[in-house]
Amino acid sequence: MAMSPDTPLLEFAGVGEQRAKKLEKLGLTCAGDLLAHYPRDYEDRRQIYTIREAPPGQRVCISAMAAEHPRRARIRKGLELVQVKVVDQTGALHLTFFNQGYVEQALRAGEEYIFFGTVEEQGRRRTMVNPIFEHLGKQSFTGRIMPIYPLTAGLSNHLMASLVRQALPCAASLPETLPQHIRQDHRLAALEFAVNHIHFPQDEQALDLARRRLTFEELFYLSVGLSFLRHRREAVCLACTIPTRPREEFLSLLPFSPTAAQLRVMDEIALDLSSGRPMNRLVQGDVGSGKTVVAAYAGWLCAKAGYQCALMAPTEVLAEQHFRSLSALLAPAGVRVGLLSGSLTPKEKKQIRAQLARGEIDFAVGTHALISQSVEFHRLALIVADEQHRFGVAQRSALAGKSETGGMPPPHVLVMSATPIPRTLALIIYGDLDISIINELPPGRTPVETYVVREDKRQRMYQFVRKQVAQGRQVYIICPAVEDGPEGESSWDGPSPAGLKAVKTYTEHLQRDVFPDLTLGLLYGKMKPKEKEAAMAAFVRGETQVLVSTTVVEVGVDVPNASLIIIENADRFGLSQLHQLRGRVGRGKHQSYCVLITATRSAEAMTRLRTLASTTDGFRISEEDLKARGPGDFFGNRQHGLPQMKLADLAGDMILLQEAQQAANQLLTQDPSLTDPDNRPVLQRVREMFADTPDIFN
């Protein structure tokens, strides 16, 4: 069969309707998809051992001869065994295959094979269960570096590797989209070589060459796309010019002195707003570094110049918190702050919308309700979005369209994120934004003391909860799971070991058996919005002493009286998420504590948790998190609207990233619109990569 990159997987040997559906779950429908389904790891199977020398407990290749015809036995319904003894000059190895009846015919006495599996010792016998095997001299998956693929239920690595091997001849017909001069300047392998050796590398050197070529390509197209995003922004018609005012006027409203970092970021914002070009700035600051004050300053400048500002928060609780703090701060300066959220009555919503349209509200605070079609602004000049990774490019442009309805130029955009991201990564993910970093905490904030605790200390930890409550403090207990599944297992995305704390049943247990005399609250994602608001509001007011919650509380809510946060199954969370959760406490004048409870036996997981216990520097934590989990997990669901990297490790490939950015800039300097015939394929690839942000090329 002549195969092309478009050949459907249903035409492949070994793929029927069922398998095709499973492959589709991984986004694989044709031969070209397989070629771009890169291995996540490799296993070195090049060393061939004798039976006696093979190290027990490790997966190894052994060359041996079948000493007998395989014996097949049916143990019970649904379980049959095939057993066979294989030998070499050093000894014998006993093989057992479970439910693999075909082995009885596939292995022939007197013929030599390579067997790959884990050698176990049972007394003086050496055994191997379910090894992969191939005829000596006709090897595809033994005696070589073997790819390990991302899989889904019902697909084995062996199957995936054999499908990729069937697809490899198509690599010759893949179009070469990188311009020749870029490949030469940066010493990059040809595409066909790279695709062949990323899947089945001849040796480490070939793998390095393949990975370098494909990673460079990914980062290069990403850089070109981001340049288009920036160019689109710079080419936009002029924005409102908001004159700078004496900063002291604003500072006199504050009950404290801002940090030098806050003042620096205020200056950067004032400069942007007065430049006549649309501001697109990301303000990154660790938990509690004072980003809201900076946003208030930007809104104050707009209001004083006769314009409106809108602040969009990801939850109602957070929107209400911003509304209260901004009203208290800005009302004395005559700035009218309004709140628009889902929990208002229809009459209240109608009234707020009318005030916005007439320009009677200067600073609107709300949730996604602010971008609904029925909301119109009078003179919207600034949008502030809180927690950027919950607002993709699409939401930003929906809100930006609001100013155009009033005949205004595009608004300025200020994004606040409490997720410290390594600067280099932020430059990629927020490719269309300038970056300001608040890297100082306000004076007087006591660092939260963090402890990693094993299950055997649980009772002592419960006593510590009582001690905090007795002193009038409040406590968060965070669980990763929500409810018990059908077999009493917790509903967690992944294997659900016994003891994983499900928030509902755990709250019932705590209230009944551990803290019958305390007031407990419950908060999780699937509750109705009104119930969530009520649970959080009761905790904010101090009516609830202990709040048992999922990570819903992660973002920004301020409860100064909460002094202890306990995180169950802490090894289940990423470090950055744990750091965010830890930031829920330590907001008042009392010493605060974070207790990470884990039953993990993984040394790696313990090292990660101890990293968190040893530092409160969010940027250092995010670097560690990025190394451990890669950029895909770093942001949870991919909500930032930019393409996902398949190969590039944004923490480890910084030098290659700089090379790719340089190459992209050179190419765009020579041909800004990529109209040259040689560069058309680059434009096409960038369009495909940025399919989620189509307006990039407008």
Over residues 403-454, the pLDDT tens digits come to: 555 567 778 888 887 666 665 566 555 555 677 777 766 666 677 889 998 8
- Report the DSSP beta bridge partners of residue 72: 82
Sheet of strand 546-549, all strands in order from the earlier edge strand to the far edge:
449-454, 593-598, 562-567, 474-478, 546-549, 520-523
pLDDT at site 469: 92
Q: How far is CA 64 from the centre of its chain?
A: 46
Domain shared by 382 and 428, yes or no: yes
User: How many structural domains does the chain have?
Assistant: 3
Q: Which of 615, 634, 662 is the last residue of a domain?
A: 615
Which of 615, 633, 666 is at the close of a domain?
A: 615
Please count the CA atoms within 13 angstroms of the CA of 332 that sit on its side-chain side: 10
Q: Check residue 514 and report its DSSP letter.
A: I
- Residue 132 belongs to some domain of the structure: yes
The CATH number assigned to the domain holding 470 equals 3.40.50.300
Tell whether 432 and 298 lie within a shared domain: yes
Q: Note whether residue 208 is domain-resident.
A: no
User: Does one domain contain both 455 and 389?
Assistant: no
* Same domain membership, residue 420 and residue 355: yes
Residue 543 burial by Cβ neighbours in a 10 Å radius (0-12, 13-18, 19+): exposed
**What is the extent of the structural domain holding 65?**
47-143
Q: Where residue 82 sits, what CATH number does that domain have? A: 2.40.50.140
Q: How far is CA 226 from the centre of its chain?
A: 20
pLDDT recorded at residue 594 = 93
The DSSP symbol for 567 reads: E
Largest CA distance in the chain: 94
Whole-angstrom distance, CA of residue 512 vs CA of residue 164:
56
Q: Which of 594, 615, 636 is the last residue of a domain?
A: 615
Classify each residue of 492-531 as buried b or exposed e, where b means 16 or more C-beta atoms within 10 Å of its C-beta: beeebeeebbbbbbbbeebbeebbeeebbbbbbeebeeee
Decide if 453 contacts 594 (C-beta within 8 A).
no
Which residues, including other chains, have CB under 8 Å from residue 690's CB and lie 6 or more apart?
A: 225, 228, 642, 643, 696
425 with 497, same domain: the answer is no
Residue range 525-576, pLDDT digits in tens: 778 777 887 888 888 888 899 999 887 665 556 788 888 999 998 888 877 7
State how far the Cα of 544 lies from the Cα of 12, in Å rounded to an integer: 60
Which residues are paired to 562 by β-bridges?
Answer: 474
Q: Based on the domain organization, do 476 and 417 belong to the same domain?
A: no
Torsion of CA 423, 425, 429, 434, to 10 degrees: 20
For residue 633, which amino acid is it?
D
675: which residues sit within 8 A by CB, 6+ positions away? Answer: none
Question: Would 64 be classed as within a structural domain?
Answer: yes
Long-range contacts of 505-508 (CB under 8 A, 24+ apart): 506/477, 506/479, 506/548, 506/568, 507/548
In a domain, 544, yes or no: yes
* 647 in a structural domain: no
Note if the pTM is more than 0.95: no
In this prediction, the residues of the chain whose per-residue pLDDT falls under 50 are 389, 483-499, 630-641
Q: Give a yes or no: residue 555 inside a domain.
A: yes
Same domain, 492 and 416: no
Q: Which DSSP category does 30 fall into?
A: B
C-alpha span between 303 and 243 (Å, rounded): 11
pLDDT of residue 217: 85
User: What CA–CA distance (Å, rounded) separates 458 from 560?
Assistant: 25
Residues 295, 327, single domain; the answer is yes
**Two structure tokens written together for 689:** 């990569």
Separation between Cα atoms, residue 658 and residue 671, nearest integer Å? 20
On whether residue 268 sits in a domain, the answer given is yes
- With a CB cutoff of 8 Å and minimum separation 6, the contacts of 361 are 308, 336, 337, 338, 352, 355
Question: In the prediction, which pLDDT does 301 show?
Answer: 92
Tokens of 493: 């995305």
Same domain, 405 and 468: no
**Statement to judge: residues 592 and 486 lie in one domain:** yes
Amino acid at 681: P
Give the Cα separation of 269 and 273 in Å (integer). 6
Task: For residues 431 and 304, state if they share a domain.
Answer: yes
In this prediction, residue 692 carries a pLDDT of 63
258 is a domain residue: yes
Same domain? For 292 and 414 the reply is: yes
pLDDT reported for residue 620: 72
The pLDDT assigned to 387 comes to 63
